[in-house]
């Protein structure tokens, strides 16, 4: 090693010498261009030399039996829902020698990850229901160096309970609502989560939901329950969640039962992914001959107006023609034909200029303009059942009348009807308790009525 160093140095010195000559004779043209050439060679050579010297430093350290010692007292502590603190101390016996130390952290469970840090502690956010395992070792800050200490490891045990007792299919959504306390923040974020009971959870299981956003943790107070009175949904009318934030939302559901340990369940959610954007407000539509003037206001949201994209849907309900517009303004003028009815709806999404763009929100309530206020299908749904009901009513009235008629004007005896009446009476007596038979009677009576009608009128 030192031999390489000496050759390198002598090479370097001869260059310096040549350079010195250069600057002295620079009055001559040929020499000047030669000097430029020297410089071009010099700069990279110098850089290489500096690099070589740095690696040599590390190599020298190796030569002299230098070693890095692992950190001591490495601990992992759960400091919040789905959040741990890794903490260690530098090894007190570590030689210092003006070297730059750093730590290499490797997470092995529940999911592999690795990173470098110069600090002696670090926070890590991850679901903890499967436990957590990590190792750390001391390394040199200069990259490429293979020098590293041995590993020290620590773990956080998985909480008790079989995995079948945990909740499954947890989904959460957030929604921005106007604050009722105007002196505080003007907007609040509500949170709604639903889940299914684990297949191995005993009948007396009760689940409890908590969320953490940043440093805030809250327990659910408004649950919905299943038939066995087990909590299966939760609603927070207001939370500490900031819909503009980039932090992850941690949701933790644990439980209790007399018959088994209920394994908790953690899930992380990205706020912009689960945020349901409200529909635009105050949608107004004005028609003027063959033009539609459509306007709306931004949805209830903590984001300012310029942060929204809109999608406008204009549907010709007569021929089913659909016009869809993507807009970043909050008004639109559309040409229409004056004889068709239209329905108009708008929805919003936060644009990528203000946060990671999420999905489209809910459509606004449809606004109908034009001739018919309601599309044909809706009319059918209302008118058809109404007509059927009316006909049935008339029919039953007629039947009642028929009873009345038979009582008021007893039928004129005719051979045909007497026979029928006779059958009716015997049938009636035979099955006075049987309802289906009674129905048969009514039908026969109707026939009798017809006969009577024919004979009387
Ligand atoms: C490591 O922990 C032990 C025992 O808890 C303690 O005596 C020691 O001082 C700690 N070492 C350092 C460097 O903090
Ligand atoms: C629950 O989730 C699983 C897998 O994600 C899916 O197959 C199943 O259909 C879901 N169950 C219900 C009732 O939604
Ligand atoms: C559920 O978790 C919360 C928050 O960590 C804790 O305070 C509570 O004691 C736990 N309940 C059960 C039944 O484990």
The CA 276 to ligand 3 mean position distance, Å, reads 29
The CA 126 to ligand 2 mean position distance, Å, reads 23
What six digits make up the tokens of 358? Answer: 């999420």
Residues 6+ apart with CB under 8 A from 396: none
CA distance 446 to 457: 16
The CA 70 to ligand 1 mean position distance, Å, reads 14
Predicted pLDDT of residue 44: 57
Predicted pLDDT of residue 141: 84
Pick from 202, 208, 265 the residue to mutate for probing ligand 3's pocket: most ligand atoms within 8 Å of its CB: 208
Q: What CATH number is given for 72-156 in this structure?
A: 2.60.40.10
pLDDT tens digits, 190-236: 999 999 999 999 999 999 999 999 999 999 999 999 999 999 999 99
The protein residue with its alpha carbon nearest to ligand 2, atom 1, reads 169
Determine whether the shortest distance from the Cβ of 72 to ligand 1 is under 6 A. Answer: yes
Give pLDDT < 70 ranges for the chain: 1-65, 143, 181-184, 371-385, 389, 395, 398-399, 402-457
What is each CA distance from 242 to 239, 306, 351, in whole angstroms? Answer: 8, 19, 17
pLDDT tens digits, 396-413: 776 677 665 555 555 554
Q: List, in sequence order, every residue forming a beta bridge with 207; answer none if it has no partner.
A: 255
Predicted pLDDT of residue 391: 75
Predicted pLDDT of residue 178: 86
Determine whether the shortest distance from the Cβ of 217 to ligand 3 is under 6 A. Answer: no
Predicted pLDDT of residue 308: 95
Q: At CA 353, angle to CA 350 and CA 356, rounded to 5?
A: 60
Q: What CATH number is given for 169-274 in this structure?
A: 2.60.40.10
Predicted pLDDT of residue 449: 37
The CA 262 to ligand 2 mean position distance, Å, reads 20
CA distance 210 to 234: 10
Predicted pLDDT of residue 62: 54
Predicted pLDDT of residue 15: 47
The protein residue with its alpha carbon nearest to ligand 1, atom 14, reads 89
Note the CATH architecture for domain 281-369: Sandwich (2.60)
Ligand in nearest proximity to the CA of 94: 1
Look at residues 182, 121, 125, 161 and name the one whose alpha carbon lies nearest to residue 257. 161
Query: 168-178 and 275-276: which strand pairing?
Result: parallel
């Amino acid at each position: 090693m030192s031999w390489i160093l000496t050759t390198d140095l002598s090479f370097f010195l001869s260059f310096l010498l040549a350079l010195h000559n250069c600057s002295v004779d620079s009055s001559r043209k040929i020499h000047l261009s030669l000097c430029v050439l020297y410089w071009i060679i010099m700069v990279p050579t110098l850089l290489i030399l500096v690099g070589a010297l740095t690696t040599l430093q590390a190599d020298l350290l190796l030569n002299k039996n230098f070693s890095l010692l692992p950190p001591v007292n490495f601990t992992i502590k759960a400091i919040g829902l789905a959040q741990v603190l890794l903490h260690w101390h530098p090894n007190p016996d570590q030689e210092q020698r003006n070297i730059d130390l750093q730590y290499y952290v490797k997470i092995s469970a529940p999911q592999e990850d690795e990173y470098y840090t110069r600090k002696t502690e670090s926070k890590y956010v991850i679901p903890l229901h499967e436990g957590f395992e990590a190792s750390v070792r001391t390394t040199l800050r200069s990259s490429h160096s293979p020098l590293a200490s041995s590993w020290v490891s620590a773990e956080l045990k998985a909480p008790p309970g079989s995995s079948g007792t945990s909740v499954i299919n947890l989904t959460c959504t957030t929604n921005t609502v106007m604050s009722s306390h105007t002196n505080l923040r003007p907007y609040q974020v509500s949170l709604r989560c639903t889940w299914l009971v684990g297949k191995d959870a005993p009948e007396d299981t009760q689940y409890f939901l908590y969320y953490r956003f940043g440093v805030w943790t809250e327990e659910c107070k408004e649950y919905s329950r299943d038939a066995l009175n087990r909590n299966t949904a939760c609603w927070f009318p207001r939370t500490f969640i900031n819909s503009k934030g980039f932090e992850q939302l941690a949701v933790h559901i644990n439980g209790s039962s007399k018959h088994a340990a209920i394994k908790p369940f953690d899930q992380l959610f990205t706020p912009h992914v689960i945020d349901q954007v409200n529909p635009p407000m105050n949608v107004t539509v004005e028609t003027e001959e063959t033009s539609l003037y459509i306007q709306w206001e931004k949805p209830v949201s903590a984001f300012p107006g310029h942060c929204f994209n809109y999608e406008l849907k204009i549907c010709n309900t007569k021929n089913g023609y659909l016009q869809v517009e993507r807009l970043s303004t909050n008004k639109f003028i559309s040409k229409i034909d004056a004889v068709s009815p239209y329905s108009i709806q708008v929805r919003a999404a936060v644009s990528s200029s203000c946060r990671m763009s999420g999905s489209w929100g809910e459509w606004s309530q449809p606004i109908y303009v034009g001739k018919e206020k309601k599309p044909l299908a809706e009319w059918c749904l209302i008118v058809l059942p109404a007509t059927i009901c009316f006909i049935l009513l008339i029919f039953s009235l007629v039947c009642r009348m028929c009873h009345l008629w038979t009582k008021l004007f007893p039928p004129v005896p005719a051979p045909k009807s007497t026979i029928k009446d006779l059958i009716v009476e015997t049938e009636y007596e035979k099955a006075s308790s049987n309802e289906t038979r009674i129905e048969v009677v009514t039908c026969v009576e109707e026939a009798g009525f017809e006969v009577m009608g024919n004979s009387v009128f």
